[in-house]
Structure 1
Amino acid sequence: MTGLTLYRHLDEMAPWNDHLQVLEVIGVVDEAPDVKTFAFRSDAQTWFRYKPGQFVTLELPAADGPLMRTYTLSSSPSRPFSIAVTVKAQPGSLGTRWMFDNLKVGSRIKAFGPSGDFTLHDHPAAKYLFVSAGSGITPMMSMLRWLNDCAPWTDVSFVNCARRPEEIIFRRELELLGSRMPGLSLGFLIEERSSRESWFGHMGRIDAVRLSLLSPDFREREVFCCGPEPFMRAVRGMLEAAGFDMARYHQESFAAPVVEEVAAPFSGDGVAGDRAEAIPVRFAQSDVEGQCRPGQTVLQAARASGVRIAAACEFGLCGTCKVRKLSGEVEMNHNGGILDEEIAEGFILACCSKPLAPLEIEA
């Protein structure tokens, strides 16, 4: 891309479309031990429209087959020409380790989204409390960056927990924002000292006493929490014990779906009652005729028929398995992974849709 075509005004560009464009890596930054930020732009010079705190699903072309991994955006939609994810490589993690080893500037990967409803835009308030641990800081950083760009006077109490000082992700940027945002109050809490970096701040694990110390007026705030499940469970318990209005508590969590065995396709030898209850499903692009047994989703029927539909969360949250319904009706129970206008255009989420009549989908 030449310098003459590198810059275009936003009103000259279309929003990014996950069905048409892929992401190109434009930067890789080390944030903390085993933590990197990967920045992307569209390969077609489009801009990114999303809410701070939402996530994308990346399709990682690993050697043993594509890996679908969901990551929260750490970037802010107030800077719409690129997006970024900040990821921590946990022991045994496959997708993140693949990214560490393979993604370089210029690499291209497919992505789906954005999705998710963990965002302050859906819960406007006069005062916020962000509570995070480890890589759970990423949606908070997206929201805080947006506030810094668009509403820097907002009253935000930010409590971040880490094991050691050097593991506080975005620490220097947070301290800089603390000096620029008059309404931002930062509270860091670490579990143990380190020989690599001195520490004179708060120590220990989050509890009712430390929460009151770091955010004395937490009962007056809209609370957003993200981190490991035991951490979020502890924060929920503290707030409930303190009489907090839990309608103003929001947490980001990607629960593991229940893995269900996919039945084999029909051989024609089943009992008559089973055949009568099965619903035909045609996969148009694959030119495959399948069957959906009672209780099966479109995604399960596709797998049983040898048709690949990309999927990550498999409980209607990430939106990765979005496909167009060409004909027929389905019952769809999703968790926010699809927009009303997309449903109106004929899209469904294969992981949480069950046919009600003979169905044809674009897959």
Structure 2
Amino acid sequence: MMRDAAQFHPLDPSDSRVTRPAFWGALPERWTSEVEETLVCCHVWQETHDVKSFFLRSPQGRTFSFEPGQFLTLELEIDGEPINRCYTISSSPARPHTLSITVKRVPGGKVSNWLHDNLRPGVSLRVLGPAGEFTCARHPAPKYLFLSAGSGVTPLMSMSRAHHDLAEDRDIVFVHSARTPDDIIFARELELIASSRANFRTSFVCERVGARTDWSGVTGFLSLPLLKLIAPDFMEREIFTCGPAPYMKAVRDLLDEAGFARERYHEESFSFETLSAHADAPAASPPAESESSAETASFTITFAKSRREIQCGAQQTVLDAARQAGVRLASSCSQGMCGTCKVKLVSGQVDMKHSGGIRQREIDQGMALLCCSKPLSDLVVDK
């Protein structure tokens, strides 16, 4: 029934009882970690028994701009030790006033356990990013196949949420694998999206039933025959995959068996949630004075955008030197694997020994990973 407009009495904004969100009113500025280093937790949601989503906002009311599938780097201090860790953004860029990360509690995991036990509304975090190239935004296609396992669901959830929020009913098949039905992250929301979008289909594959006695879905592991049943036209789709390394290898093997074109296959090449202990190692010490003059040579590193200059020894990585000088740079694995510290070299040369975190075409374009690059000359970095 229609109500007379005169019956509505909005509260006076000057009323002390009213708390106006920072983003109501004038168009807010865009958030960047160079201008505002910290974000504040505004909400925590328990997704499953060992998974939580943490919602973050800008204290100044700035909005976020990112591509679905990108990640943030958290700068934490746990037990007096500085630790950087990357987490994929699970929220949609179409909802720019907050963003979320979804974290699985890993047994013995220093960072995931700290976040689960300590990050609550009102707690602030130092954050860098967003960054990353694993995003459907850079690979537009009429049909997608999203394959995920465990917490690898997060970047694909961000992509799914973005398509849903923008009312873009793209042909998407989302296949998620989990240990048990109770371990399926975002199960209800994925089913809701599927119910409201004609061309969005979801399917869950569980290793075992677990405590559920009413599970009517697929039990076992993703295989080529099963994939053909779920998505008979998967050979025509752009495929995005994220999950534990064994899962992604199994997916690559079954797609190779089917003869799928690798140029239409994309995967998140590193699991940020399960970084090795080496990622938390302190920065390397400068070379000892007894070393040869070549080894003790020092080069000037200029960061073009921040207008900072630092000195870096010939046997130091650029990332180590930057950390010692107090320059904030996104980093995570410190082994040349994750690609978080990838930058463009405007000038100069480096000796880079990476472990797969950068592609040859990117190296040919002048990109480098600062965590595994030692200077061979003075450098100018586009950062």
Q: TM-score range by the shorter chain?
A: 0.7 to 0.9
Aligned mates of 1:249, 1:288 — CA distance in 2: 40
State the SS of the aligned residue for 2:120: coil
SS at match of 2:266: strand
Q: How many corresponding residue pairs?
A: 349
Distance 2:127 2:251 in 1: 32
In the TM superposition, residue 186 of structure 1 has moved relative to its aligned partner by 1.2
Secondary structure of the corresponding residue to residue 67 of structure 1:
strand
Deviations 1:278-308 (A, max 9, x none): 23347999x99855225x42124457x6867
1:270 paired to 2:279: no
- Output aligned runs, 1:142-221, within 5 Å: 142-196=158-212, 198-221=214-237
Paired residues of 1:57 and 1:318 also in contact (CA < 8 A) = no
The answer for the alignment partner of 2:28 in structure 1 is 13
Match status 1:252 vs 2:258 = no
* Structure 2: segments with no counterpart, 5+ residues: 1-15
Give the whole-Å Cα distance in 2 for the aligned partners of 1:222 and 1:322. Answer: 27
Residue 95 of structure 1 deviates from its aligned partner by 0.3
C-alpha distance in 2 between matches for 1:104 and 1:8: 24
Q: Deviations over 1:68-89 (max 9, x none)?
A: 1110010010000000001101
- Provide the secondary structure at the position in 1 that maps to 2:198: coil
Number of the residue aligned with 2:252: 236
Structure 1 residue 265, shift from structure 2 partner: 2.9
Aligned counterpart for 1:313 among listed residues 304, 326, 333: 333
Specify the SS of the correspondent of 1:112: strand
Distance 1:273 1:58 in 2: 36
Task: Write the distance in 2 (CA, Å) between the matches of 1:212 and 1:268.
Answer: 63
Contact kept in structure 2, 1:27 and 1:40, CA below 8 Å = yes
Q: Which amino acid aligns with 2:377?
A: A
Query: 1-side partners of 2:368 and 2:261: how far apart?
Result: 35
Task: Return 158-167 or 55-64, whichever deviates more.
Answer: 55-64
CA distance in 2, matches of 1:307, 1:15: 25
Aligned to 1:86: 102
Q: Provide the C-alpha distance between the structure 2 equivalents of 1:299 and 1:74, rounded to a whole number of angstroms.
A: 28
Check whether the contact 2:205–2:218 (CA below 8 A) recurs between aligned residues. Answer: yes
Unpaired segments ≥5 residues, structure 1: none
**TM-score, structure 2 length as denominator?**
0.79
Identity between Structure 1 and Structure 2 (%): 38
Structure 1 residue 149: deviation in Å? Answer: 1.3
- SS of the equivalent of 2:108 reads coil
Contact 1:113-1:318 within 8 A present in 2 as well: no
- Partner Cα separation in structure 2 for residue 316 and residue 332 of structure 1: 16
Q: 1:50 aligns with which of 61, 66, 86?
A: 66
Q: CA deviation at 1:17?
A: 1.3
The answer on whether the counterparts of 1:156 and 1:184 sit within 8 Å (CA) in structure 2 is: yes
**Is this contact kept in 1: 2:314–2:375, CA < 8 A?**
no
Match of 2:371 among 351, 356, 363: 351
Distance 1:52 1:332 in 2: 33
* Residue 299 of structure 2: aligned partner: 280
The residue type equivalent to 2:318 in the other structure is: V
Displacement of 1:12: 2.1
Question: How far apart in 2 are the matches of 1:331 and 1:273?
Answer: 15
Deviation at 1:49, TM superposition (A): 0.4
1:139-175 superposed Cα distances (whole Å, 9 cap, x missing partner): 1100000000114321001111111111110001111
Deviations 1:203-255, CA, capped at 9 Å, x for gaps: 11111111111111100100001111000100110011101111101001216
d(CA) in 1 for partners of 2:23 and 2:312? 50
CA–CA distance in 1 between the matches of 2:214 and 2:94? 35
Aligned residue number for residue 298 of structure 1: 318
Q: Which amino acid counterpart does residue 314 of structure 2 have in structure 1? A: R
For residue 76 of structure 1, what is the aligned residue in structure 2? 92
- CA deviation string 1:301-359 (max 9, x = no partner): 457x6867653133385546979x9x98454979679xx9xx9xxx9964255434346
- Which SS does the other structure have where 1:3 is aligned? coil
Give the match for residue 57 of structure 2.
Answer: 41
Output the amino acid matched with 2:93: P
Which residue of structure 1 lines up, in the alignment, with residue 5 of structure 2? Answer: none
Contact 1:332 1:349 survives alignment (8 Å):
no
CA–CA separation in structure 1 for the residues paired with 2:295 and 2:126? 39
**Matching residue of 2:44:** 28
Alignment RMSD, CA only? Answer: 3.7
Aligned to 2:13: none
**Alpha-carbon separation, structure 1, partners of 2:126 and 2:284:** 29
Q: Is the 8 A contact 2:23 2:97 kept in 1?
A: no
Is the 1:112–1:320 contact (alpha carbons within 8 Å) kept by the matching residues of 2? no
- The letter of the residue matching 1:19 is E
- Distance in 2 (CA, whole Å) between partners of 1:121 and 1:360 is 30
Q: What is the SS of the residue equivalent to 1:109? A: strand
In 1, distance between residues paired with 2:217 and 2:310?
63
Question: Secondary structure at 1:141's aligned position in 2?
Answer: helix
Asked if 2 retains the 8 angstrom alpha-carbon contact of 1:54 and 1:114, the reply is yes
SS at structure 2 position matched to 1:101: helix
